Every structure is written in structure tokens, then in C-alpha cells.
Amino acid sequence: MNFTPFRIAALTLCLLFSQKMFAVETIPALIPEPVKLEKLAGSFKLNKTTKLIAAPANKEIAELFADMIKAPTGFTLGNTAGGTSTIQLAINKAYNKQIGDEGYTLDVKPTKITVMANKPAGLFYGMQTVMQLLPKEIESAEIIKNKVWSIPCVKITDYPRFGWRGLMLDVSRHYFPKEVVKKYINQLAKYKMNVFHWHLTDDQGWRIEIKSLPKLTEVGAWRASRMGLWWKRDPQGANEAADYGGYYTQNDIKEVVKYAQERFVTVLPEIDVPGHSLAALAAYPDLSCTGGPFKVNVGNTFYGVDDNALCPGNEQSFVFMEKVLGEVAALFPGQYIHIGGDECFKGFWKTCKKCQKRMTDENLKTPEELQSYFIKRMETIVKSKGKKMMGWDEILEGGLAPEATVMSWRGMKGGIEAAKMNHHVIMTPADNCYLDLYQGDPAGEPPTYSMLTLSSCYNFDPIPAEIPDPSFVLGGQGNLWAESVPSYRHAEYMTWPRAFALSEVFWSPKESKNWNNFISRMESHLQRYDVANINYARSVYDAAITPLKDSVNKTFRIALSTEIKKLDIYYTFDNTFPDNFSPKYTDTLSIPKGADHIRVLTYLNNKPIGKMITVSIKDLEKRTED
């Protein structure tokens, strides 16, 4: 064969291109990133004769994996005779201290995949990794024909950094049916999270059936229907129908708990008291300081105006909670019950004769000490049901209950204080973990408040230097409050991909963090979500618009930025739509005379990738005043 210089050059380019493509295809895009991964030559081909072998004790894990495989492939995996390839799940004969109770080792060879673990949870997480090693089409709910189901050969040793890796879903502000609650649990389990915090009660709805207190769901689970911005809504009218809401029967709860257990997820129930209790008071007004009547809140402003707290001076409040927590404890097998304790307005306690008598009888000096008295009574009840109590960091005020675990949300301070008192802590500061916040420029996002970018999630470290003994930090979680989340599709949008970042924070070694590497892996998982029809935000690709105030000249300039540095930003001030022929952003911008808007758009490799963001100059001026 006559190799001309042109053919040699072309062949060289083809080889380089194929090598580059091969490298991209064989680098496993795993989230969270494993502790140790070694890439090997070759690949494992999953086919209809592949054998799935597991001991009887691990039958449920094998069946769950087989079900996930069957939908997109059509393969029925089992211990079939004559198969040429094998997937084996096995428990270590000798305990491997390195990987602990939730870790695993994964060895993928051309004809055999072996997942080893000390406990079934480790096998489950190993199988989730195998799923991520398969092509993205494995996420399809329908059969994909003529697809080669190839898994790259690797050796993985993996185990979590923290034992508590959670997501919270608020179902009080908006009720989500049990089917989508299970879907949420399934997704967090795929990313090796192991706690589902279920915020079941609040001012806007009581969502759990308590059989001894039927009015909680007959009355407290329903409110008038409203749209519009939260806290800007009109109160429920006197004769207006309360037909928006819903609740979970105890059978529903059992079904969800069982579903979670099969995925090694613990469900943490939250009954938020003594504040955030308006839905309960609508059902049982005598438990308040003022006596009512009350209506379940619809999203109108009421804090500090309407009484929404249980009366700690009324002994019936504790009888009520004894009934509630007794039934809750029987439904949830996890070791904790979360009692809230946050944002309790104490103004009505100050003028309540029962509360004042309680303070005198118990020698309590302040309303904070009265709340502490209430919380300590809650701990006594919780312990009597065989559980441990958890609460938001406000339970520190007035004195912490003896054995309480603190969930620190107002920054890290509460967690640091509790850990120094030798209490266990879950770190979930709003600045890093509140998934209801804006994740991109507010002009390009559905309305909410404050800001939490993807990089802020990824850069979070649950262990601050001020804690002398890190073992008191059990882990952390992301929280999705639902005031501005009226649908499950939007819950997905607000959760992903920020929960990808948090899953890696809670599982992967701190020293392995690499933002650019994470973004590359995230992009692969967004493609998987496209196949699975799961919603997510692409806000990380959008530009942020920041006004920079010049106090001397009483003017401001405009800074544009992106979280992903490889993006280019183009802008216009002339009310036209920007593209990659418009001015390209390089440095802060002055505002042309007469301009009333700025529009920005991001590009990657000369192709648009982000949303077009439009902001008026007046709105930017307002931002300088915030």
C-alpha cells in the first residue's frame, strides 16, 4: 500500500481522534467520586445470558438490580445455566475495616463483575456504581433495541466519608403524592445518600394521619387554593373552601418506609413544634395561648401577628404531643424523630397566663428558657418511645436538652456550639445546603430568595476547624423547602444537580475534590437524566449579572461571571438579542447613555449553552441598594 504524506497525516489524525474519543468513553463518570478507582483494559458485555449470583440473604438487592436492568434491556438476569458472563454479589468472609459497613469493592473483568462488601448496604451501593458504569440509556423506562450494554473494566474501593448523607423534602407547603415521594427517595439512593428527611407538618399543612387525633388531617391537611408569590397572598376568606392539600395515611407511611428500607434509606420524620404549628392549631385551637379560631395558612404573612405555637403552659399540649409522637414512633423504624424547634415566635407566651404560671413554677427567667423547657419535655417523650430527639439549632436557646442531636441550619455556629458540648451534629447551613434558594441569576430563575450556586454546594465542608472532635459531626444534608415549589417537576429542578454536589461532599474524600472534574461528570449525569425524563437546572451554564457600586461617583458598573470558566459571555445594551457576534465580555462594563436593559448569553465552543438573561438597569440599581 502506498502511504502518501497526505494519507499518513490523515491516518494520524484519525488515530489521535479515536484515541481521544476512546479515552472520553472509558473514563467512568461516577457521582459521588469513589475513594479509589483503577481503570483496566477491556470491558464487560451485559447480555441476556448474563448470570446474577447472590446468596439468599442478598436476594432482594439482586432482584432490585435485575428490575433496574430489565426495563431498558429486556434481559431477565438470574442464575441461568450456560451464561458466558457473571455478576456476583458477595459478603466478605472477614470484615474489611477499610470499607466499613457501607463501603464495597468492585472488580469488573471482561467476563465477571464481583461486588464485595461487609454488609448488604455496601452491596447496594456497589450495584449503584455498576448502574452508573453502564451507558446512559440504562436510565430508560422503555426497551432500547440493538444496544451494546458495555461496562468498562475497573477496580474500585469505595466507602463514605460520613454516615449521615441526607436530603429533606418539605411536603407541608405543597403536598406531594406518595408515588413522587418514592421517586425522590429512589433518586437520592442512586447517589449513595441514606437519609430522607420528611418535613411532615408546618403552618401550611399537617400531612400525617394520627388516628387518635383525626382533626389533624380532617382540618389541618387542607387550605384554600392560592397562586402567586409566597407571603404576598391574601388570607383565606371566612367562607372560602379549603380544598388544597392532602395527607399520608399510616398505610401510605408504611409503604414509603418499606420502599426506602429496600434502598438502605432511613426516613427521618419531622413534627415541627412548638412553632410552625398553625395547621395543628386550626384543628385543635385550645392548644394555643389565644384560643383561636385559626385557619391553615395559605402563604399570607402572619408571623408575629397570628398565634402559631403550641402553648407550653398548657399541659394538654404535652398530652397532644404524647399521642402524636407515640404514633409517629411506631411508624418509623429509624432511631431519630425530628421535633423542629425553629423560628418559634414567643410573643404570645409573654402575655399568656398559663405560660407565665409555668415560668414561675419552673423558675424560668426568659421565653427562651420556656422553649427549652418545652423541648426537654419533648425529649423525654421521644426517649419514652425508644427514639432519639433531633431539632434545628434553635433548640440550643435557653439550654440544650441532655441528649439532643442538633441540625445546624443558621450557618455552622450552632453545630460548632453543640459539638463542643459533646452533642452529635448534622451540618446543613443555609448558605451551602438550602436547595430552595436561587441557583442562578434571579432574572433567569423562578422567584424565591437568596442564593445558593452549584459551586457553593460543592465547596461545602461539613467539618469546620473550630470543632475539636470531628466525630461529633455525623454528616450533612440538603434541604428543599417548598414555599416556592408547587410541583414535583420543580422539586426536581431545584434539587438536581446541586444534590449531585452534596452527595459527593458527604461521600467522597475531601482531598479528591476537583471542580472541573466534577463538572465533566455532572454533564454525563445530566444526559442520563434526559433519558430518564428527570428535570434539572442548567443554571450553572448561565451568566450572573452583578452591579458594582461606585459610591464616589454615585454610579455603578456591571460585572458578568460564570461558574464554569470555559464559557464565553456575550452581551447587548441596545435591546437586541445577543449572540456570538455581539460584544464579548472581558472586563466590567459601563452603562451606555440611554440604555435601559442589559441582555447576556453564554456560549461554549461557539454554541449557545445558557439561558438568555435580561435585566433592566433600574433593577440592577436596586440590587446595589440591597
Confidence grade of residue 14 (pLDDT, cut at 50, 70, 90)? very low
The pLDDT assigned to 554 comes to 72
CATH code (residue 594): 2.60.40
Please indicate, yes or no, if residue 18 is contained in any of the structural domains.
no
Please indicate, yes or no, if residue 351 is contained in any of the structural domains.
yes
β-pairing verdict for 473-480 and 425-427: parallel
Q: Are residues 546 and 604 in the same domain?
A: yes
Please indicate, yes or no, if residue 577 is contained in any of the structural domains.
yes
Confidence grade of residue 507 (pLDDT, cut at 50, 70, 90)? very high
The single residue of 343, 368, 369, 621 carrying the catalytic annotation is 343
Exposed, middle or buried: residue 102 (CB in 10 Å: 0-12, 13-18, 19+)? buried
Query: CA angle, 201 as apex, 200 and 202 as ends, to 5°?
Result: 135
Q: What percent of the chain has pLDDT over 90?
A: 92
Listed residues 527, 557, 592: the one ending a domain: 527
CATH code (residue 440): 3.20.20.80
CB 51 within 8 A of CB 87: yes
Q: Mean pLDDT for the chain?
A: 94
Q: Is 343 a catalytic residue?
A: yes
The pLDDT assigned to 626 comes to 73
Residue 482 exposure: Cα atoms within 13 Å on the Cβ side? 25
- Round to whole Å and give the CA distance between 132 and 148: 15
Convert the pLDDT of each residue in 241-290 to its tens digit. 999 999 999 999 999 999 999 999 999 999 999 999 999 999 999 999 99
2-11, 31-40, 54-63: which has the minimum mean pLDDT?
2-11
The pLDDT assigned to 6 comes to 42
DSSP per-residue letters across 492-559? HHHHTTHHHHHHHHHHS-GGG--HHHHHHHHHHHHHHHHHHT-----GGGSPEEEEEEETTTTEEEEE
Convert the pLDDT of each residue in 526-573 to its tens digit. 999 999 999 999 999 999 999 998 766 678 999 999 999 999 999 999
Residue written as grid cell 464487560: 44
CB 479 within 8 A of CB 432: no
**Element of type H or E holding 406:** strand 405-408
Q: Is 403 a catalytic residue?
A: no
| Strands of 200-245, DSSP E | 201-202, 205-206, 222-223, 244-245
Q: Are residues 555 and 519 in the same domain?
A: no
Confidence grade of residue 363 (pLDDT, cut at 50, 70, 90)? very high
pLDDT at residue 83 greater than cutoff 80: no
Listed residues 126, 158, 190: the one ending a domain: 158
Please indicate, yes or no, if residue 47 is contained in any of the structural domains.
yes
* 304 dihedral zone (left: phi>0; alpha: psi -120 to 50; beta): left
pLDDT at residue 20 greater than cutoff 70: no
| Strands of 182-332, DSSP E | 195-199, 201-202, 205-206, 222-223, 244-245, 266-273
126 in helix, strand or coil?
A: helix
Convert the pLDDT of each residue in 416-449 to its tens digit. 999 999 999 999 999 999 999 999 999 999 999 9
pLDDT at residue 22 greater than cutoff 60: no
Q: Are residues 298 and 342 in the same domain?
A: yes
The pLDDT assigned to 78 comes to 84
CATH code (residue 147): 3.30.379.10
180 in helix, strand or coil?
A: helix
Q: Are residues 463 and 588 in the same domain?
A: no
The pLDDT assigned to 23 comes to 36
pLDDT at residue 24 greater than cutoff 60: no
The pLDDT assigned to 328 comes to 98
Q: Name the grid cell of 380.
A: 423525654
Convert the pLDDT of each residue in 281-290 to its tens digit. 999 999 999 9
The pLDDT assigned to 625 comes to 81
Tally of structural domains, the chain: 3
Closest CA to 216 of 256, 258, 177, 273: 273
pLDDT at residue 79 greater than cutoff 90: no
Q: Are residues 399 and 495 in the same domain?
A: yes
- Round to whole Å and give the CA distance between 269 and 387: 12
pLDDT at residue 463 greater than cutoff 80: yes
The pLDDT assigned to 26 comes to 53
Please indicate, yes or no, if residue 19 is contained in any of the structural domains.
no
Peptide bond into 5 cis (omega under 30): no
Q: Across-strand partners of 388? A: 336
Q: Is 276 a catalytic residue?
A: yes
Q: Name the grid cell of 190.
A: 442512586
Q: Are residues 508 and 569 in the same domain?
A: no
Tell me which amino acid residue 56 is. Answer: P
Q: Are residues 446 and 410 in the same domain?
A: yes
Q: Are residues 141 and 204 in the same domain?
A: no
The pLDDT assigned to 549 comes to 86
Q: Are residues 101 and 174 in the same domain?
A: no
- Residue 125: which residues within 8 A CB-CB, separation 6 or more? 102, 103, 104, 117, 158, 192, 264
Q: Across-strand partners of 87? A: 52, 113
Tell me which amino acid residue 426 is. Answer: I
The single residue of 276, 423, 424, 525 carrying the catalytic annotation is 276
Residue written as grid cell 434502598: 263
Average pLDDT on 376-395 reads 97
- Round to whole Å and give the CA distance between 232 and 534: 31
CB 195 within 8 A of CB 265: yes
124-128, 402-406, 605-609, 621-625: which has the minimum mean pLDDT?
621-625
Confidence grade of residue 360 (pLDDT, cut at 50, 70, 90)? very high
The pLDDT assigned to 81 comes to 66
pLDDT at residue 484 greater than cutoff 90: yes
Q: Are residues 481 and 554 in the same domain?
A: no
- Residue 468: which residues within 8 A CB-CB, separation 6 or more? 419, 420
Q: Are residues 248 and 375 in the same domain?
A: yes
CB 187 within 8 A of CB 176: no
Q: Are residues 294 and 418 in the same domain?
A: yes
- For residue 143, the enclosing domain spans 28-158
Residue 273 exposure: Cα atoms within 13 Å on the Cβ side? 27
Please indicate, yes or no, if residue 380 is contained in any of the structural domains.
yes
Please indicate, yes or no, if residue 4 is contained in any of the structural domains.
no
The pLDDT assigned to 109 comes to 97
Query: CA angle, 280 as apex, 277 and 285 as ends, to 5°?
Result: 105
The single residue of 33, 170, 202, 441 carrying the catalytic annotation is 202
Listed residues 158, 183, 200: the one ending a domain: 158
Residues, the chain: 626
Please indicate, yes or no, if residue 21 is contained in any of the structural domains.
no
The pLDDT assigned to 3 comes to 41
- How far is residue 307 from each of residues 137, 278, 346, measured CA to CA in Å? 53, 8, 9
